[in-house]
Structure 1
Amino acid sequence: MFKNYIKIAWRNILRYKTNSVLNILGLTIGLVSVILIALYIQNELDYDTQFDAAAQVYRVNMKGKMGDNAFYAGYTPPPAGEALVDQFPEIESATRIYQPDNTQLAYESTAGSKVFNESEILAVDPNFLEVLSYPLQKGDAATCLQEPNSIVITPQIAKKYFGDANPMGKTLEYGEEKKPLKVTGVFEDLTSYPASVKFDILMPVTNFKDVTYFNWSWVWLNMATYVKLTPQASQNPASPAHLESRFPEMLKVQAAPAFERIGQPFEEFIKKGNYWELHLQALSDIHLYSQGITSSITEQHDVKNLYILGIIAFFIIILACVNFMNLSTVQAVKRSKEVGIRKVLGSQRKQLIKQFMAEVVCYTFCATLLAFITVLLILPLFNGLIGKELQVQAFFNGNLILLITGVVVLTTLLAGIYPAFFLTSFNPIRALKGKVGKTPQSGFIRNGLVVFQFSIAITLIICTLVVFSQLRYTQQKDLGFEHDQVLVINNAESLGNNLASFKKELIALAGVEAASSSSGMLTRGNFGDFYTPKPTADEPNIATDISLSSYLVDDAFIPTLDLEIVDGRGFDKRFKDSLSVILNETAAAQIGWENPIGKQIRYPGGNMEYYTVVGILKDFNLESLHTPIQPFALFAEESKSYDTRTTFISLKISGEHTRQVIGQVQDLWEAYVESNPFEYSFLDEDLAYAYQEDKRLASLFTVFTILAIFVACLGLFGLIAFTAQQRNKEIGVRKVLGANVSSIVKLLATNFLKLVMLSLILAAPVAWLAMDRWLQNFAYRIDIPIWAFLAAGALSLTIALCTVSFQAIKAAVANPVKSLRME
């Protein structure tokens, strides 16, 4: 019997070709959307779960406050890990990660030398691969990082330096001092490995003097620390919270000497309302649940984006099912007499339902098969859109197979139950008289489905427009500095004592308008530490402490980036500025100075020097607009206020002959620095990179919004066809009585355009609430624009009008004699 159902179902699919194509196309689009989004979400959820004993591993985060400045970061002081292992038996081991600034790596061979600047180098403790078990292709995880002169690399790095030769035992040279490092391990291909800590190269942290020097410090926050709990502790859900409750007592003892050394007695520091806390974060939570936690070492996304994409996938598959229902009502009119005859001849309703469900199964099977083929074909394009390397093997994930199977079954039921019961509910006498589907109840259901479809589509349109508006705002907002045509040269520290003469020759180049050097660069990070403002007789009630981010800069930095001095002056060669500082407006306001020029701050982290404020900078954004403006300072290069590991050169260049200018700069660089490759970027490109994740979300919104609109239009197309068939005789009579095509189109289209307007009214508040919440991720955001709602309404009306007009015109130009004869 089942075989017979399938045979008849297949015949009906072939008989009603147009209807079948639309049904299968709608379901295919819905399933493709679900599969792609499911692949993306599954990949995000897989982050950091594949490590051995992943449930035992936690990142140690630091939460601190000094004065008005608070932070939460995925960094700790160097001694934190060792102290935690010593003090708490629940902690089995700890490992640290340090992100070095020097990235030069070289390989010398008889065939010549290869020198590159590598951007993905991490320095780690010897037990790193025992805590975070990244898979090795060659080498032993327990021993490959034990020796200071060892290095572990990915296959891509091995290919880059050694070609097809076996890299094990070969020597790479690190940094300008060309420290020899022996390859002791090679990872498996980590390109698509879902881990929040990304790298190409690992080397022992003992190679870095900064870490060794600051092993005493509890205020130097430049290391990520991961701890591994004992199996017993990790099995107790209360263990992390219990451990955290005991951290403050440990910090009072361990951190006190370091705070005393910088002139900040720890107990007095806490009594002022400040805090200095350690917290544990589960390894599996780092990638998606780190909002507000700063870290440049880990890849951190927002779990809310997964919820958004999941909701979009859900609604698109629902749209596809609704579309199927609408198209089935069109088919119902054509098949009503078939149903009536079957019933008259003795067919039971149960048999008819099985027959129609068999047709739905055939539709769903075809759609599922096409969906998988489509996903395989477009997966490379989708990977480019989301910036990932999703593999075909991901299809064989058990959870994913279960999810997709569930979606297919649910789609079959949702898409099939209503049409099956609708088609088999016909009174055989009414069906044979052609009076099917003309009740008010059936019309209400069909109109409701149209409203539902377009409400979803319009919501997605509004959200997409708002997301792009925010991105445009981030690109157009005055950030307080010049970023167009600013060329940034990396690794300028390799110039050493030749920095000044190199800058002098740069300025002499045609097309270079200004050149400056600095220890940091916008969006590239900065140095941060605590400072103590010096009270004065006229302003005694000022902040006792302040945390400042800062750069060491030359006297050309401010004019090169066109920063605005609102009070005082910038650095000037005519003055001795080695003990001068320039603050931004936020820093001066937090300290509480009304007249800051001439006031002083002390740097406990250095040699207790006092720096005199010589200027106030107008506030500008150091980072993306996701983060608010923080207290910031500029110190003169010659102050040597703190040790710098990096130097950047910023060039303001003219808009003409940009490539020629870059070529000249490169030639000059190579004349000065033979061993270090020339690397540069444009500042506006660096700023754009800060919004990469937002742009990907906007692109996904756009793609799936287009798909949702298309599916909604398929349903509308079917419904207008259904209406045209129902009013076939009326249209014929009107044409005989002299009605023209435009009046008939208006007759058929008006009701549907009203439904679209109702959809806009329902969609607007939902879209507003969703976007208001999303915009809270930005410290500087747009007001949700009214034009987005108007544009969404106009676009949806236009799309609906085009869809409706196609069928309406087709009905209006039909020969009335044929329609009247059919009646």
Structure 2
Amino acid sequence: MIRNYIKIALRNILRYKASSMINVSGLAIGLCSVILIALFIQDELQYDQFFEDSAQIFRVNVEGKMGENEFYAGYTPPPAGAKLVNNFPEIESYTRIFRPGVNVLQNSDDQEKQFNEDNIFAVDANFLELLSYPLAKGDPKTCLAETNSIVITPQVAKKYFGEADPMGKILLYGEDKSPMKVTGVLHDLEDLPASVKFDILVPVENFGVVNYFNWSWVWLNMVTYVKVTEQAAANPGLVQHLESQFSEMLRVQAADAFKRIGQPYEEFLEKGNKWDFHMQPLADIHLHSGDIVSSITEHNNIKNLYIFGIIALFIIILACVNFMNLATAQSSRRTKEIGIRKVLGSARSQLIRQFLTEAALFSFIATMLAVLLTILFLPVFNEIAGKSIGLQNLIAPEIWMLILGLALVTAVLAGVYPAFYLTSFAPVNILKGGIGKNFKSRFIRNELVVFQFIIAIALIISTIIVYTQLDYANSRDLGYDRENIIILNNTEKLGAAEEAFRQEIAALPQIKSTTISSNVFTKGAFGDFYVPETNEPGETVSQDLALSSYLVDDRFIETLDLKLKEGRGFERRFNDSLSVVINETAARQIGWENPLGKTIRYPGGQQESYTVVGVLKDFNVQSLHTPIEPFALFSKSSQSYTSPTSYITVKLNPGNPQRTIQAIEAKWQEFQANVPFEYSFLDEDLAAAYVTDRRLAKLFGIFTSLAIFVACLGLFGLVAFTAQQRTKEIGIRKVVGAGVTDIVRLLSVDFIKLVCIAVIIASPLAWYGMSRWLQDFAYRIDIAWWMFALAGSFALMIALLTVSFQAVKAAVANPVKSLRTE
């Protein structure tokens, strides 16, 4: 019997080629979209799962509050790991990461093999034991035991040693060319689902700054991972209890460090400040760190996975709805077949099995086609999504279970309604041609069309909002000039010759101005807290002020075109070593109405006080994801702090910059031939902060387009069904003088009404969803009425084109043939 069902199904597929092609293509596109989204979600969920004992590993984060500023960071002070192990038996071990910044690496046997390396991690000797990154060569227990050891990736090995075996070879590290012996080679980390990736590992003992700050509990430049016991890992309540004891440990351990910087810990807490540790499971870092500051971690947002999961669900439902509509559209072609088979004694159950078999066959063919489409488009999808998903992911058991499950569910969802609907009528009604003309049938089909376009329009609105927000991020006035600005990196390597080099390049004809600073926008900042002071009678300041800051020269404000609200910037004619320029947010948080002349005191060091000589209008230091925080510029002659990094910012006159860059590079070679020249454009650095958002927007656009296409297939099917039902009516209207336009209007009006209903329902749903998404941006657009109007107009236009195609086809048909139709 099954064989007979399949034979009849194949005959019907071949008989109605156009409808069958639409059915199969709609299901295939829907299934392909779901498979691609599933591969994306699977890849995201796998992050950090490959580590041995990953369930026992946690990252230690710091939650802090200073004055009005609160932060949550994936960093700790240097002594945190050791103290946690010593104080809590539930914590077995720890390991740390310190990022030393850019350093030069050179092949000891080939001086031409010299490069700047910025993805270097200084780590504890047990790093590869606790975090089991795969090693191709070397022993994870010993490869970082010696101070002069270095572990590299295959890409680094090839860059310095070609195809030769790198083990035991020597690399010269840093400006002092310290010899480092290659003791390990990692497997390729590029495709590894790890939230932290690197190129080079060296022992942290090589960096005196870490040892120097081993007393500090506020120098947050280490990433610390701890491994807890199996019992603790299996009991979330025990981990929470463990965390609750950290605050008491900090009261004891951090007291001397806070006293040393002029801020007694108890007094610090009494002011309403906070300094506490939390443990974050390793597996949560990639997807659950939206509010946690970390420059070394590859983050995504779990919300994005929910969004794409919902899109996948919607697309497959749209594809199934299409099948239902197209099946009912074909019903008039098969009414006689059904009626005759019923008259000849076929049971309804046999007919239901026949139609379910056809749906299963369609689903099987569509699934095979979907898999082929996935293989074909996977490289393009990887490029857009920034992934490296391979075919091995496609053959993973869970993916094939999903594919088979989708094929089964699709067959049932797509076939059950037509099967029960087409077989529900009495033979006499079927043979009279009354099938599908009752109100209930029309109502169900109309509901399905509205449902399809609710989804499509909601996705269109969401895509418009995503692209508008990204355009806003790219075009918003950040408070400074970002055009024709070049950032020269690693200029601290010039040492005492940095100023002389700046003067040399400043004389080049295409250069408008230059400036030296410890940091620059998108390149991080120094953070510390200060005590605001006042000389006004009766005026008090009760809160500390957390400040991010740069050390700059007297040309910084001019070169970046920062706007002064009041006061002045740094000037050569003044001794500004004890001056500070703050932004509006800093003045507002302190509560100063007239900040000029006021002072802020650094509680550590020599207790220096800095006089406010200027107030800058607020500007964005990072991306629009980050709110504007209290910020300050200190003079490079300041004694507030020293910085390990330095940058020269160059403002060019408009024109072709390449010749100027070549001239700057030539000057660099004169001053520092041992360090490769590196630069970047400021606008490109800013754009890099939105890479994830742009990928999200592209994926949104692609899947929205697919959803619209699939929805239009459903509409196409319903118009075809309606045109078939009204064949005689159309013929009569044409005979009595109706034109093509009249017929098109007749068939289009009802469907346009359905799309309008979908616009009304989809708009608040899209508004709610995108309002939640926009909360991830500190500075965001307002959702405007025109976005809904544009989406609605676009949906109406697409629907009208789809309807018009079938309507025109019906309108130009020969009325004589229409009137003879039975």
Asked if the contact 1:543/1:590 (under 8 Å) is kept, the reply is: no
Aligned match of 1:86: 86
Aligned match of 1:60: 60
Aligned match of 1:449: 448
Asked if the contact 1:515/1:650 (under 8 Å) is kept, the reply is: yes
Aligned match of 2:261: 262
1:539 Cα shift?
Answer: 5.6
Letter of the aligned partner of 1:93 in structure 2?
Answer: S
Q: Distance in 2 between matches of 1:467 and 1:402?
A: 33
Aligned match of 2:493: 494
Aligned match of 2:407: 408
Q: Distance in 2 between matches of 1:419 and 1:358?
A: 12
Which deviates more, 368-377 or 660-669?
A: 660-669
Aligned match of 1:529: 528
Letter of the aligned partner of 2:56 in structure 1?
Answer: Q
1:397 Cα shift?
Answer: 2.8
Aligned match of 1:44: 44
| Post-superposition CA distance 1:141-164 (Å, at most 9, x none) | 111111111111111111111111
Aligned match of 2:119: 120
Asked if the contact 1:581/1:633 (under 8 Å) is kept, the reply is: yes
Aligned match of 1:193: 192
1:135 Cα shift?
Answer: 0.9
| Cα 1:499/1:800, change in 2 over 3 Å | same
Equivalence map 1:234-383=2 (5 Å): 234-383=233-382
1:97 aligned to 2:97? yes
Aligned match of 2:629: 630
Match of 1:30, SS state, is helix
Q: Distance in 2 between matches of 1:120 and 1:249?
A: 36
1:507 Cα shift?
Answer: 1.4
Asked if the contact 1:531/1:545 (under 8 Å) is kept, the reply is: yes
Q: Distance in 2 between matches of 1:250 and 1:92?
A: 17
Asked if the contact 1:569/1:615 (under 8 Å) is kept, the reply is: yes
Aligned match of 2:804: 805
Asked if the contact 2:480/2:561 (under 8 Å) is kept, the reply is: yes
Letter of the aligned partner of 1:260 in structure 2?
Answer: K
| Post-superposition CA distance 1:576-618 (Å, at most 9, x none) | 1112111111112222222222222222333322222111111
Asked if the contact 1:473/1:782 (under 8 Å) is kept, the reply is: yes
Match of 2:236, SS state, is coil
1:440 Cα shift?
Answer: 0.6
| Post-superposition CA distance 1:61-90 (Å, at most 9, x none) | 101111111111111110000000000000
Q: Percent identity?
A: 61
Asked if the contact 2:360/2:408 (under 8 Å) is kept, the reply is: no
Asked if the contact 2:287/2:302 (under 8 Å) is kept, the reply is: yes
| Cα 1:189/1:239, change in 2 over 3 Å | same
Asked if the contact 1:582/1:613 (under 8 Å) is kept, the reply is: yes
1:607 aligned to 2:618? no
Q: Distance in 2 between matches of 1:686 and 1:605?
A: 34
Asked if the contact 2:367/2:403 (under 8 Å) is kept, the reply is: no
Equivalence map 1:654-803=2 (5 Å): 654-803=653-802
Asked if the contact 2:727/2:821 (under 8 Å) is kept, the reply is: no
Match of 1:593, SS state, is coil
Aligned match of 1:432: 431
| Post-superposition CA distance 1:420-440 (Å, at most 9, x none) | 111222321121222211111
1:141 aligned to 2:136? no
User: What number of residue pairs does the alignment pair up?
Assistant: 822
1:267 Cα shift?
Answer: 0.9
Q: Distance in 2 between matches of 1:118 and 1:323?
A: 54
1:175 aligned to 2:174? yes
| Cα 1:606/1:408, change in 2 over 3 Å | farther
Q: Distance in 1 between matches of 2:639 and 2:410?
A: 67
Match of 1:558, SS state, is helix
Match of 1:181, SS state, is strand
| Post-superposition CA distance 1:122-145 (Å, at most 9, x none) | 111111111111111111111111
Q: Distance in 2 between matches of 1:102 and 1:817?
A: 82
Letter of the aligned partner of 1:677 in structure 2?
Answer: P
| Post-superposition CA distance 1:600-648 (Å, at most 9, x none) | 2222333322222111111111111111111111111122431211111
Q: Distance in 2 between matches of 1:684 and 1:360?
A: 54
1:109 Cα shift?
Answer: 2.3
Match of 1:706, SS state, is helix
1:795 Cα shift?
Answer: 0.4
Structure 2 unaligned blocks of 5 or more: none
Q: Distance in 2 between matches of 1:518 and 1:569?
A: 18
Asked if the contact 1:580/1:612 (under 8 Å) is kept, the reply is: yes
Aligned match of 1:129: 128
| Post-superposition CA distance 1:509-545 (Å, at most 9, x none) | 1211011111111111100011122332436411442
| Post-superposition CA distance 1:298-342 (Å, at most 9, x none) | 112110111001000100000000011111011111111111111
TM-score, normalized by length of structure 1?
Answer: 0.98
Asked if the contact 2:102/2:119 (under 8 Å) is kept, the reply is: no
Q: Distance in 1 between matches of 2:65 and 2:752?
A: 57
Aligned match of 1:155: 154
| Cα 1:706/1:544, change in 2 over 3 Å | closer
Asked if the contact 1:353/1:421 (under 8 Å) is kept, the reply is: yes
Q: Distance in 2 between matches of 1:105 and 1:375?
A: 42
Q: Distance in 1 between matches of 2:333 and 2:118?
A: 65
| Post-superposition CA distance 1:99-126 (Å, at most 9, x none) | 121232221325x521112232111111
Q: Distance in 1 between matches of 2:605 and 2:29?
A: 62
| Cα 1:544/1:821, change in 2 over 3 Å | closer
| Cα 1:103/1:362, change in 2 over 3 Å | farther
Q: Distance in 1 between matches of 2:727 and 2:414?
A: 27
